Structure 1
Amino acid sequence: MLASDRNGTLYVGVTSDLVLRIFQHKNKFVPSFTEKYGVDKLVWFEACDSIEAAIVREKQIKKWKREWKINLIEAMNPYWNDLYGSIL
């Protein structure tokens, strides 16, 4: 999950290459929602056993209330630090 800032705009996505995808978001390589709203801080992520499982989980989280997403982030990352450096 990406955020523009603490309690800012959120983005939920799925990828098979997290490092590359976050790099693309940070460098605004593709015109998109994240580029338009400055959403480029990796604040939460989880690994799945398959791309199919990841897509199911992404769809599940996208349906959640904002409050639930914030709770998920803060359980792992209470200060909303950008986790990109920790996955390099």
Structure 2
Amino acid sequence: MQPAIYILASHRRGTLYVGVTSDLIQRIWQHKNDLAQGFTQQYGVHTLVYFEMHAGMSDAIGREKQLKAGSRMKKIALIEEGNPDWHDLYPGLL
């Protein structure tokens, strides 16, 4: 397992969610199947639009905090830099 941070979106430029996990594939599967109760389930935030792998969990948590503290526009710019069409990146992980 490798720690990762990720951004989910409800749709292009829609509601965003930033998270951290030690198992990206499993965690995104949980979000997509509404097994992660809370914000993502309530607002239909299921599309993986950005992720970063990290060497250690402390690095991933630090990056998650940095992203959460940043503006919405910075998150959108980060997504669009690598995924301009807001494709769901989850299938590429499998």
Distance (Å, rounded) in 1 between the aligned partners of 2:92 and 2:66? 25
Partner of 2:3: none
**1:41 equivalent in alignment to 2:36:** no
User: Which residue type is aligned with residue 60 of structure 1?
Assistant: Q
For structure 1, list consecutive stretches of 5 or more residues without a partner in the other structure: none
Over aligned residue pairs, what C-alpha RMSD do you find?
0.5
| Deviating more after overlay: 2-11 vs 27-36 | 27-36
Q: Match for 2:21 among 15, 24, 46?
A: 15
Distance (Å, rounded) in 2 between the aligned partners of 1:14 and 1:50? 11
Q: How far 1:7 moved relative to its partner? A: 0.3
Distance (Å, rounded) in 1 between the aligned partners of 2:52 and 2:82? 10
Q: Tell me which protein shows more strand as a share of its residues.
A: 2
Secondary structure, counterpart of 2:20 in structure 1: coil
Render the CA deviation track for 1:21-48: whole Å, top value 9, x for unaligned.
0000000013210000000000000011
Partner of 1:85: 91
Query: How many residue pairs align between the two structures?
Result: 88
* TM-score, scaled relative to structure 2: 0.92
Question: Structure 1 vs Structure 2: percent identity of aligned residues?
Answer: 57
* TM-score, scaled relative to structure 1: 0.98
